[in-house]
Amino acid sequence: MTSIHDVAEATGVSTATVSRALRGLPNVSPRTRELVRAAATQLGYVPSPSASGLSGGRHHAVAIVIPSTARWFYVTVVEGVDSVLRRENYDTFLVILAATATDRERLFNNALLRKRADAVIALGIDFTAEERRELRTVGMPAIVVGSPVRGVRSVGIDDLAAGKLAMDHLLALGHRRIGHLGGETEWGMDHSVGQDRSQAWRSALRNVGIEPEPHWYALGGFLMPPAKAAALEMLASEQRPTAIFAGSDEMAFGAMLAAAELGLRVPEDLSVIGIDDHDWSESFGLTTVKQDPRDQGRVAARSVVDELSGAEEVTDRVTTAAVTLVVRRSTAPPAGQSEPDGRTSTRPPG
């Protein structure tokens, strides 16, 4: 395990100079720097993060915490985060965090956050006031991906607006009986994402004078299987909706699968729209409100890296990521109305 001493010896300079040279600090003669660099690569030297972390206080690692690996959004953000972190030579700690209080407590009392990572990127977590205070105290850069959290930087879409975009599309098509597949809210998790999207559904309906019926709303937990089950029930009802707005594409897939199982054609008998633009949505022919989680991950990572590099308070407190409507084959005017254009209606892919 070659150490900084070996490089110093090989070069004939002090370890201090080696350290400076390798980290690109000023006040090192070009010649010396080159010599040191050459020796380092020649010897296959890499600095020990433990040692530099201990002495310098920077660990060159950031923790990314997600509630589960089961949702496309989370793992896709992780991929984005990882890509910039790797390029910047940071290592990535992955923390999969259940919603339980003990799990979260452990996280915050853990060495990981206190003495191991230089920053945290949290997904779908709603920090408590105390947690925020802790972060502040330790002076640890933190950013949330998802809906804004008071006092913490964040990047994410405007869920209300995204929901409105989806609903406007459905309403413009002529739908009035519109169902919704929403997410559940666990304590301290994902607080507003699901709520805001559901709220958008409710408001949009009321804005056109429709009071949403209870059985038009069901919980899909942001996962496909429970969403399918919920949709099955919703679609079995007497006055079933002519369209479903799902709070995520994965839940929308569930709706499409449910429709297929009931012999309902999409979009002839049922329109379906989601939010995300999941990697599979195009194959499903799903109309959706597209967001770019990979990019949000990159932005978040860039943000903490910049802050760690000393850039003074670079980013905005809350960065709003763009959304766009992507119309595919899962939405059309409700039965009885003529189609507005020549789109061919295919069989339901679900």
| Interacting residues toward a second copy by CB under 8 A | 1, 44, 46-51, 53-54, 59, 61, 64, 68-70, 75-76, 78-79, 82-83, 86, 91-96, 109-112, 114-116, 223-225, 228, 253-254, 257, 260-261, 263, 279-280, 282-284, 346-350
DSSP 100: -
Residue 23 near which of DNA, a second copy, none (CB within 5-8 Å, type-dependent):
DNA
Please name every residue paired with 94 in a beta bridge, in sequence order, or none if there are none.
Answer: 64
Strands 324-326 and 287-290: antiparallel
Residue 117 in contact with DNA, rule: CB under 7 A: no
Distance CA 224, CA 331 (A): 19
Structure tokens at 311: 């850039």
Rg (CA), the chain: 25
Residue 38 in contact with DNA, rule: CB under 7 A: no
Applying CB under 7 A, which part among 42-50, 138-146, 232-240, 333-341 lies near DNA?
A: 42-50
Question: Is 31 or 130 the residue whose CB approaches DNA more closely?
Answer: 31
Question: Is 46 or 208 the residue whose CB approaches a second copy more closely?
Answer: 46
Q: Closest distance between DNA and the C-beta of residue 271, in Å?
A: 58
Residue 31 near which of a second copy, DNA, none (CB within 5-8 Å, type-dependent):
DNA
* Helices of type H across the chain: 4-11, 15-23, 30-43, 49-56, 72-87, 101-109, 111, 129-138, 159-173, 191-207, 224-236, 249-261, 281-284, 293-308
Alpha-carbon separation of residue 99 from 17, 105, 140, 145, 327 (angstroms)? 48, 10, 22, 17, 35
Residue 5 in contact with DNA, rule: CB under 7 A: yes
Q: Closest distance between a second copy and the C-beta of residue 225, in Å?
A: 5
Reduce the DSSP state of residue 97 to 3 states and report it: coil
Structure tokens at 180: 């919704």
Q: Which 316-335 positions form the footprint of DNA (CB under 7 A)?
A: none
Q: Closest distance between a second copy and the C-beta of residue 236, in Å?
A: 15
Which chain residues interact with DNA by CB under 7 A?
1, 3-5, 12-17, 19-20, 22-23, 26-29, 31-33, 45-48, 51-52, 54-57
